[in-house]
Chain A
């Protein structure tokens, strides 16, 4: 018997992983939540049939979305994570002693429950005393906050479905307002490769570039996401992502990573020409 999970990366491209067993399948008020075990990628989580994370490659995404802004901001104390109910971003943040509070805003409490039960490798720090979880729509939560955060990490799903509000201009503007005067927002920025993803990527970049004085994009290689080539947005009120990064200071913290390092930090902002062109088109 062979059992395969398949996600359509485009209507004409399938991505499949052979499944050992399905551990959980639930329907929440917002989406369908599934957890599988596989030989190649270990345990993995999907929402509405879209790959969210696998045990084998989640470190890439979570390290890159977290350590890049953390290495730039000189003194990040109060952090907001929007989305990210799997706990991966919180796990990385919790490794910083200087962080005083981590607010996690997840729309779907069932995602957190499932991840606590089946994905301890990402959910392991959700009980850290600095972490406060709110179950709310991120766009509503942020509307009521002003100058409260040093860093906001937008760990969203895709720009359709329950996460679509997190790709809008009103959301990015609200994030700007919720950040302190030297705050940084980092977001999951989709892929530049397949045309439909690329369009969403351009739209997001256009809106962020209009909301923040500094808006740059960096990349990482994530094997289980469509095309494997993934982008992150770095938007900031004051700090430049490379010029204001202090490599020695970050290295001194002694945080061990498997993907991120300070040389890669600067290198990840060097983008392929076609991606640069796409971004320029909307700036």
Chain B
């Protein structure tokens, strides 16, 4: 990597230059550098609202970049070892959806693990592609879904040789990676694209001792959640892609759903974060890894908690682990992860990323400090001292094989009716039911409802699992296809 050129931050520099010009605005946004909205300017700060400006010649245009945005995207591509990069201003969700809209059209098949983010299945509703699900393996003790095993992917490819692409989480929310390199080789040998969801893997390209990044593993495209571990503002992300991808067509796909008023706050944040990762990422991530290792040791010393790591690597479905992720198994103190999560927030003013039935996840990144880790560890020790009880009757996560009857798009837009949950077995669901844990969809549009699934929903609801997706927020009714 040419470190010298990575010193540049073209969008940031253009905005600094623009600020000095004191241009008189007779264009949008109407707040006119904040003057028209003093409360907002006071709240966010004048520096911030002063660069909330519209596309214009010196600042380029995200829909059709020819100057500073183009340069910034080229630098991002270089930093990630990709051929091309796209700044995304509607979250990693939009990045994932654009990848899928690029790879698939109506009726095309795409191979993916069941524990994809819901944005992935939403993309199928948009484009009409058909999901071929690969069972993620489950770690029975922890109750979390892992990566895809290579043999399962191979089986899916053999059964569906006409599939257009294979979609891979790199890593999962819990930090687990599949054997991406082998999956890439397999898919490419059968003419399929490999799309990676690196919403939680931004840092892989920049640190030592981290799992392999998608671009390095030979994937064709990857969605990068820069605002997660990369340090940019919420909602800003990237797509990076190899030279196997047609840049112009991907830009057209992105422009189908992308705003024509992209925020310069978000884009300058991407630009500056990329520069920071490229120049200082290695050192910073070394610090994050040390912090995470320290936290794991301290937490495992408390007793009963299990902060797991690379010892679970099995060469296949747990091929590698992102050691910056601090995942902690809590069931041995007799408490569900979600309960520990709530107590941490309500009683200790500590907000962690999530809690599921068996685990909590604390997100560590470029902004963490030892003193905050000490608070987390002490709070966990206190929760154990105050609340420990015998663990029993806790739900263990069973993977329920989905029966895909119709494409998500067909089911989503079809005529439907609402039925009480108990009457839905045998019908085809037209909406999502998501349950945490472990963030795997229980039902997606187009899938057959079974007795087993209804029982699982009832049980998880009873255990206080967080569920969402359906129109009926209480999940007492489900929408199913009409008249069957």
A residues apposed to B, CB below 8 Å: 137, 139-140, 142-143, 162, 164-165, 168-171, 173-174, 177
Contact = CB atoms under 8 A, between A and B. Distances in A.
A169 B370 CA distance: 18
5 smallest beta-carbon distances between A and B, as pairs: A170-B378, A170-B379, A173-B382, A139-B374, A170-B382
A165 B382 contact: no
B172 to A, nearest CB: 29
Contacts of B371: 137, 139, 162, 164-165
Contacts of B370: 137
Q: Which of A137, A143, A171 has the most chain B CB atoms closer than 10 A to its own CB?
A: A143
A143 B383 CA distance: 12
Contacts of A142: 378
19 contacts: A137-B370, A137-B371, A139-B371, A139-B374, A140-B374, A140-B377, A140-B378, A143-B381, A162-B371, A164-B371, A168-B378, A168-B379, A169-B347, A169-B348, A170-B378, A170-B381, A173-B378, A173-B382, A173-B385
A119 B353 CA distance: 46
Given A164-B371, A168-B378, A170-B382, 14 more contacts: A137-B374, A139-B371, A140-B298, A143-B374, A143-B378, A165-B371, A165-B374, A169-B349, A169-B379, A170-B378, A170-B381, A173-B382, A173-B386, A174-B381
Contacts of B280: none
Given A139-B374, A162-B371, A174-B378, A168 B385 contact: no
A139 B349 CA distance: 16
Which residue among B298, B374, B377 has the maximum number of chain A CB atoms within 10 Å of its CB? B374
Contacts of A170: 348, 375, 378-379, 381-382
Contacts of A137: 370-371, 374
Nearest to A169: B348
B213 to A, nearest CB: 33
A88 B422 CA distance: 71
Contacts, number: 48
A173 B344 CA distance: 13
A174 B348 CA distance: 13
B378 A171 contact: yes
Contacts of B298: 140
A174 B349 CA distance: 16
Contacts of A164: 371
A45 to B, nearest CB: 22
Contacts of B385: 173, 177
A168 B381 contact: no
Contacts of A165: 371, 374-375, 378
A139 B375 contact: yes
Contacts of A139: 371, 374-375, 378
Interface in B347-377: 347-349, 370-371, 374-375, 377
A177 B382 CA distance: 9
Contacts of B378: 139-140, 142-143, 165, 168, 170-171, 173-174
B348 A168 contact: yes
Nearest to B377: A143
A162 B377 CA distance: 17
A162 B371 CA distance: 7
Interface string B372-406: 00110111011001100000000000000000000
Contacts of A162: 371
Contacts of B375: 139, 165, 168, 170
A142 B385 CA distance: 14
Contacts of A173: 378, 382, 385-386
A185 to B, nearest CB: 15
B338 to A, nearest CB: 19
Nearest to B386: A173
Identify which of B298, B378, B385, B386 gathers the most chain A CB atoms within 10 Å of its CB.
B378
B362 to A, nearest CB: 14
Nearest to A30: B371
A81 to B, nearest CB: 18
Contacts of A171: 378
Nearest to B344: A170
A219 to B, nearest CB: 27
B395 to A, nearest CB: 28
A171 B371 CA distance: 12
A133 to B, nearest CB: 19
A62 to B, nearest CB: 26
B374 A174 contact: no
Contacts of B382: 169-170, 173-174, 177
B113 to A, nearest CB: 37
B386 A168 contact: no
Nearest to B382: A173
Nearest to B376: A170
A19 B386 CA distance: 50
A140 to B, nearest CB: 5
A174 B380 CA distance: 11
Contacts of B379: 168-170
Scoring A143, A170, A177 by chain B CB atoms within 10 A of each residue's CB, the highest score goes to A170
Interface in B29-82: none
A140 B371 CA distance: 9
